[in-house]
Amino acid sequence: MSDLDEAYALKGPEDCARLYADWAASYDSEFAVNNDYLLPAHVAAAFRTHGGSGPVLDVGAGTGLLAQNLRALGNADPVDALDLSPQMLERASQKGIYDHLIAADITQPLSLPRLYAGIVSSGTFTHGHVGPDALSNLEQHAAPHALFAVSINAGVFRSMGFDDALDRRGNVTLLEVPIYGPATRDPAHADDRALIALWRHPG
């Protein structure tokens, strides 16, 4: 089974915590490289293009690829990392790009250090990971008019109910992007796509 097939076959937070504990050390050097992983760059660009600002919460931050892309695009605002996996957060912390590192499960009510003007996420709303109910837990911590930029794997957009959940929020922009680039070594997933959902929290 490929790395990706293993990740897509997960069944919720306990499975995720186990897999990412094992994956953390090689995630950047193997998974991201071998799959020509583009999604964090697409989410960072969408957030910046739509006027996103901080403080930012990076949801399912993993090893910090999304925040690295935000920094590369000139974002100097504070960014906090939230992830279920302490091992992934440990990798992220080594990059020195986050203010707070928060180990938490977004399918549960959250206790966070501040309100956020930006909430971003790349690769967390996907097969076997997190469904749309978690969005309400995040919205509890959004400042008035906060910009959300959240990727959703196109393969679960309808089946997990993201379409209805986003319809209820109204005024959501959807950008379709490739998750992996032309250099991916996993042809079975070369055409996988994500929708980046962008919306403003009410004032």
Ligand X SMILES: C[S@@+](CC[C@H](N)C(=O)[O-])C[C@H]1O[C@@H](n2cnc3c(N)ncnc32)[C@H](O)[C@@H]1O
**Which stretch in 79-87, 164-172, 180-188, 189-197 sits in contact with ligand X by CB under 6 A?**
79-87
Q: State the minimum distance, in angstroms, from the CB of residue 92 to ligand X.
A: 9
Q: Is the C-alpha dihedral spanning 39, 42, 48, 49 positive or negative?
A: negative
Q: Does 106 bind ligand X (CB under 6 A)?
A: yes
Q: Using CB atoms, what's the residue nearest to ligand X? A: 62
Among 8, 83, 135, 142, binds ligand X (CB under 6 A): 83
Q: State the minimum distance, in angstroms, from the CB of residue 170 to ligand X.
A: 25
* Residue 176 host element (H or E): strand 173-178
Alpha helices in 50-180 (DSSP H): 65-72, 86-93, 134-139, 162-169
191 vs 202 by CB, closer to ligand X: 191
Q: State the minimum distance, in angstroms, from the CB of residue 16 to ligand X.
A: 4
Q: Does 130 bind ligand X (CB under 6 A)?
A: yes
22 vs 77 by CB, closer to ligand X: 22
Which position has the token pair 């912390």? 93
Q: State the minimum distance, in angstroms, from the CB of residue 155 to ligand X.
A: 14
Among 41, 57, 61, 146, binds ligand X (CB under 6 A): 61
Which three-class secondary structure state does DSSP give residue 82? strand
C-alpha closest to that of 86 among 62, 108, 59: 62
Cα–Cα distance for residue pair 49/144, rounded to 1 Å: 19
Beta strands in 64-155 (DSSP E): 79-83, 101-103, 116-125, 142-153
Q: Does 142 bind ligand X (CB under 6 A)?
A: no
